Structure 1
Amino acid sequence: AETSDRLGSVFENAAGADVPPYWRMAALIRPLARIAGPGEGLVLGLPKRLLDEEFGAGGIMRFEDVDFPRALTHEPTRRFLRETGLPEDGLLFQLDTEVPLPALTEYYADERPDAFAAGHLPVTACRLIRLGGLVEDTSLVVDGATGAVLAWSEPDLTLRPLNADISTLAFTLWLLHRERTLDAVHGLSDSYEHLAATLTETLATVDPVACDRTPTLPDDDGLRHWPEIFEDRAGGSLHA
């Protein structure tokens, strides 16, 4: 907040009341990357109660050890889900609140047995823990062994990197929610292309994995969910 105020003052002194949209976004959005420092075993250490303050304490789901499948062995991820949790409604992510959390193989076997043959699932499906849904027919999963957060697309039968880990996923959801709050006051989405570029650059500062289009997995085509969502003006994801 202090950085935003200082930048805003500098820009207003330079341009008066008619501050260019890109400058205003730089003042309001870019400093959000400074909200969290390094984590222990995760990329970020989010401030305590950050998600509660943004989404409301009643909107955060925290898990217990009994909710975790055996495949979720990555302790920093388990700790984050226990102590910090995730928003049940992250605007562009819907958390599964039916616990225990299933591995991807269990999810399809129990919930959608007729979706498609198990042989079409990723070879690591037994250790991919489904946390919820992104867009239609796309699951958000965490690798139980490494903590990497991935997107599994049913139509494409493709597994793609989504976030470096659970901490940067939480930051991404917080960033999107904060942007909508700022947009309601400042009309940032009136300059949509600039806003999308600023959000992508801000996220990339914190989590390069989320925005790096270099293929890293089998059949990975380089598409990255968050930059695509930011840039989708027709979808209007950034409008308040």
Structure 2
Amino acid sequence: FEDVDFPAALAHEPTRHFLRETGLPEDGFLFQLDTDVPLPTLAEYYEDERPDVFTPDQLPRDADHLIRLGHLIEDNSLIVDGATGAILDWSEPDATLYALNTDVSTLAFTLWLLHRERTIDESLSHELTEEAYDQLATTMTQTLSKVDPTGTAPGSEWHYWTEMFQDEAGGVL
């Protein structure tokens, strides 16, 4: 990303620095970044791209400080809180924000884990048993929870990445 891509609402300097200097994959497994236009706030995204889906009063109260990085699967958006740098999942069906990652660096690590899983799966797809799939999902979930406990802390009822790692039936693992 370049500075011109960032809305004024992205005030969290470590996030700006990471996105500018390191970035994220543009077309990752389970998500896609919106790189064709400057990053919109969640409020701008719904005003400009999907005005028939949500009205401003149906969005989270801080929608003008939440920046949409792109979309996740199943009507979910990848969001960064412009003030704190926290990475969130905006679920359209639930009209709810969920904690996803502590920051963009742990998001990048999660994406790397997913990429590694896909590589293992592709190279050993005929040799992995159901038990091996379960162990791989457990190992990845445990690794992620040690590096980034966001969403797996007590009181968290749901976590996107954990669900994805364990969704063998959905074809993720």
TM-score (norm 2): 0.93
Q: Which amino acid aligns with 1:157?
A: A
**Counterpart pick for 2:138 among 197, 202, 207:** 197
Deviations 1:154-204 (A, max 9, x none): 111111100000000011001110121122334475322221111100111
Q: Does 1:142 align with 2:80?
A: yes
The equivalent residue for 1:232 is 167
CA distance, structure 1, for counterparts of residue 89 and residue 15 of structure 2 = 17
* 1:102–1:130 contact (8 Å) kept in structure 2: yes
The aligned amino acid for 1:233 is: E
Report the secondary structure of 2:133's partner residue: helix
Confirm or deny: 8 A CA contact 1:213 1:223 kept in the other structure: no
Q: Say which SS state the counterpart of residue 35 (structure 2) adopts.
A: coil
CA shift, 1:213, in A, is: 5.5
Equivalences for residues 186-225 of structure 1 within 5 A: 186-187=124-125, 189-190=128-129, 191-212=132-153, 214-215=155-156, 222-225=157-160
Q: Which runs of 5+ in 1 are unaligned?
A: 1-62, 216-221
Correspondence for 2:10 among 72, 76, 87:
72
Percentage identity across paired residues of the two chains: 65
Query: In proportion to residue count, which structure has more helix?
Result: 1
Question: Who wins on radius of gyration, i.e. which is larger?
Answer: 1
| Partner-residue secondary structure (3-state), 1:168 | helix
| Contact 1:128–1:144 (8 Å) recurs in 2 | yes
Cα pair 1:72 1:143 within 8 Å, conserved: yes
Gaps of 5+ in 2: none
Q: Who is 1:97 aligned against?
A: 35
